[in-house]
Amino acid sequence: MIDLSSSFLALIVELLNVYCILIDIYRLKSYQSKFSDLGMMLTLEKFYTDYDNVAPTIFEPYNRFMHLGAQAIPKDVKKICDLGIGTGNLSAAILKYIPDVKIIGIDRYGPFAEKAESKVAGLSLHIRDIFDGPLPAADYFVSALTTHHFETPTRRDQLEMIARKGRGFVNFDIMLCDGLNLDGTIDLIVEYAWRTYPCKDTMCELRNAIKEHDNPMPFEEHIDLLRSIGMKVDVLGKENPFVVYHASWPTKN
């Protein structure tokens, strides 16, 4: 005798599974339609040409961490050097808290840096690699999503050079945290990005680009190095793999 109740339940379960799949497809199509209409389906070209809109959707704490870093800088600082200024978002945030500060920006990618000029009043802009010449004189040095590009053999020396140059250093960047290696860190970045750009090809391209171009240091290596040379380090925000910290010299005025 056929158990109709069991067959009926199995049919219901199967229909529910199909329903869930259709809902997922609908959501994916809705996302794609939304961002296609806005011209925001993510490609690496889009990432570079529309960075200000794309970056906060990939780097989840982007805006919050920018402002945490900006607020940490003493209000009596007169001159700041923004290393890898990009499109100028960190410097623009700093100006909200210290309106009269003079800002020097260094970035090797001209199209990014030129956008910073429209946001940062009186910006002194240098289109070059950070280490192609001597670091300019400044009270404070800041960077956002820059130090993870430093090369492994020299990155500790470069970080120390920056730290020793002024009264303090604010850094917001991708770092290896909580025991994760580079692959695990990339997984977290891709997970963030997937929420806005649910496209496998896009995420594959993003993953490959990070592996090819990025070289984040472990979070503990940043902190230990700066403390070992006598700096006071305050971690202002940490949401793996993103960290913002403020390092300063206790005896420098």
**How much of the chain exceeds pLDDT 70, in percent?**
85
pLDDT of 213 above 50: yes
Distance of CA 43 to the CA centre of its chain: 17
- Shared domain for 148 and 216, answered yes or no, is yes
pLDDT at 54 (0 to 100): 80
Q: Which of 44-48, 85-89, 143-147 has the lowest mean pLDDT?
A: 44-48
Q: Which of 84-88, 89-93, 180-184, 201-205 has the lowest mean pLDDT?
A: 201-205
Residue predicted with more confidence, 253 or 44: 44
- Shared domain for 108 and 9, answered yes or no, is no
pLDDT at 26 (0 to 100): 57
When pLDDT is cut at 50, 70 and 90, the band that residue 38 belongs to is: very low
> CA torsion sign, 204 to 209 to 212 to 216?
negative
pLDDT at 40 (0 to 100): 42
- Shared domain for 19 and 115, answered yes or no, is no
- Shared domain for 124 and 227, answered yes or no, is yes
Residues 6+ apart with CB under 8 A from 107: 84, 85, 86, 113, 116, 125, 126, 127
- Shared domain for 129 and 162, answered yes or no, is yes
CATH of the domain at 109: 3.40.50.150
- Shared domain for 25 and 127, answered yes or no, is no
Token pair of 247, please? 């390092």
- Shared domain for 150 and 202, answered yes or no, is yes
When pLDDT is cut at 50, 70 and 90, the band that residue 144 belongs to is: very high
* 253 within domain boundaries: no
Distance CA 189, CA 180 (A): 12
Distance CA 246, CA 223 (A): 10
* 67 within domain boundaries: yes
- Shared domain for 14 and 98, answered yes or no, is no
pLDDT at 29 (0 to 100): 53
- Shared domain for 74 and 137, answered yes or no, is yes
Residues 6+ apart with CB under 8 A from 115: 52, 87, 88
Query: Would you call the peptide bond into 153 cis, given omega within 30 degrees of 0 as the criterion?
Result: no
Domain that holds residue 97: 47-248
* 174 within domain boundaries: yes
* 146 within domain boundaries: yes
- Shared domain for 116 and 134, answered yes or no, is yes
* H-type alpha helices, the chain: 4-37, 44-49, 51-58, 62-72, 89-97, 110-116, 155-165, 182-194, 200-213, 219-228
A 10 A CB-CB count for 91 gives 26
pLDDT at 31 (0 to 100): 45
Average pLDDT over residues 162-188: 93
* 133 within domain boundaries: yes
pLDDT of 171 above 50: yes
What mean pLDDT is reported for the chain?
Answer: 85
The pLDDT tens digits of the residues spanning 53-93 come to: 888 877 878 999 999 999 999 999 999 999 999 999 999 99
Nearest residue to 170 (alpha-carbon basis) of 57, 84, 56: 84
**How much of the chain exceeds pLDDT 90, in percent?**
55
When pLDDT is cut at 50, 70 and 90, the band that residue 194 belongs to is: confident
Quick one: residue 231, left, alpha or beta (phi over 0 = left, psi -120 to 50 = alpha)? Answer: beta
Residue predicted with more confidence, 17 or 94: 94
pLDDT of 176 above 60: yes
- Shared domain for 16 and 77, answered yes or no, is no
**Count of the separate structural domains present in the chain:** 2
* 177 within domain boundaries: yes
Residues 6+ apart with CB under 8 A from 175: 148, 216, 217, 218, 219, 222, 241, 242, 243
The pLDDT tens digits of the residues spanning 229-240 come to: 999 999 999 999
Average pLDDT over residues 95-122: 92
pLDDT of 42 above 60: no
* 198 within domain boundaries: yes
- Shared domain for 21 and 97, answered yes or no, is no
Distance of CA 154 to the CA centre of its chain: 21
pLDDT at 44 (0 to 100): 60
